[in-house]
Structure 1
Amino acid sequence: MTRWFRSYWLEEDIWFYFEADSGGLITRQVELQGPLEKPIAAAALAEWDAAQRAGAVGQYETVFGRTAENPVGEWEEHDPQELTAAEFESVWTAARAACLARARTRSAPGA
């Protein structure tokens, strides 16, 4: 069963949004930082794995970051808040768009 939740890390002022599979593996992850909740990552494990196989993991991580390697159980101590699939998808869609826009800006001539 897929599970969606978020957890806040005060030390870094980051909200972590997670999608985890039935085995507890993080399959998608979003990170929003600061009071404006700026998207700093929106990574999918399957995409990261494909990029690694293609020798392009560095490029992928520059745009989208990466997912946590820790299973869900290790996040329990960080007071996770359950989310619905729709809540996660809304954050995911916005964060992905921001990551892609930032990548386009970086690769634009004169950037």
Structure 2
Amino acid sequence: MDNDGMMRWFRSYWAEEDTWFYFEVDADGWVTRQVELQGPLERPVAAASLVEWEAAQRRGTLAHYEATFGATAEVAVHEWDAHEPQDLTAAQFEAVWLTARATCQAKARARSTHGA
């Protein structure tokens, strides 16, 4: 199912959380993938996929998934207030996505080896 033509990519900054949110949204405005980069170093704190999140929910592994990758927004983009989206290309989003995923996976591995 290749619906890239229907997808949009953008980022938006929330000053109160000092966080950049990167979004991939479908034609209806629902977030399909989301990355969160926090603080002055833009440290990845989330890189969640809606499809994976739903699969984890069905498998009963949601807590583990959210601990590793976070979650996607649960309201459609057009319902958000006061965000000023900056458009991205698919390639720009993908580069941030891959880096953030790797960071989240490394943090999860570190947690499991330290028993935390």
- TM norm structure 1: 0.95
Deviation at residue 77 of structure 1 after TM alignment: 2.8
1:2 aligned to which of 7, 16, 20: 7
Task: Letter of the 2:23 partner, please give it.
Answer: F
* 2:47 maps to amino acid: A
After TM superposition, list the pairs within 5 Å mapping 1:80-99 onto structure 2: 80-99=85-104
CA–CA distance in structure 2, aligned partners of residues 91 and 110 of structure 1 = 29
Q: What does residue 22 of structure 1 align with?
A: 27
Deviation by residue 1:59-108 (Cα, 9 ceiling, x = unmatched):
00000000001111124631110000000000000000000000011111
* Other structure's SS at 2:72 match: coil
Q: Which runs of 4+ in 1 moved over 6 A?
A: none
Structure-2 separation of matches of 1:110 and 1:48:
24
Partners of 1:83 and 1:70 in 2: CA distance: 20
Out of 73-82 and 3-12, give the one that drifted further: 73-82
Superposed CA RMSD in Å reads 1.2
Q: Percent identity?
A: 66
1:51 aligns with 2:56: yes
Determine the C-alpha separation between the residues in 2 that align with 1:105 and 1:24. Answer: 35
State the 1:110 CA deviation: 6.2
CA offset digits 1:22-70 (Å, max 9, x no partner) = 1111000000000000000000000000000001100000000000011
**Runs (5+) with no aligned partner, structure 1:** none
Question: SS where residue 32 of structure 2 aligns?
Answer: strand
Letter of the structure 1 residue corresponding to residue 92 of structure 2: E
Alpha-carbon distance in structure 1 between the residues aligned to 2:115 and 2:82? 45
Count of residues in correspondence between the two structures:
111
Give unmatched runs, 5+ long, in structure 2: 1-5
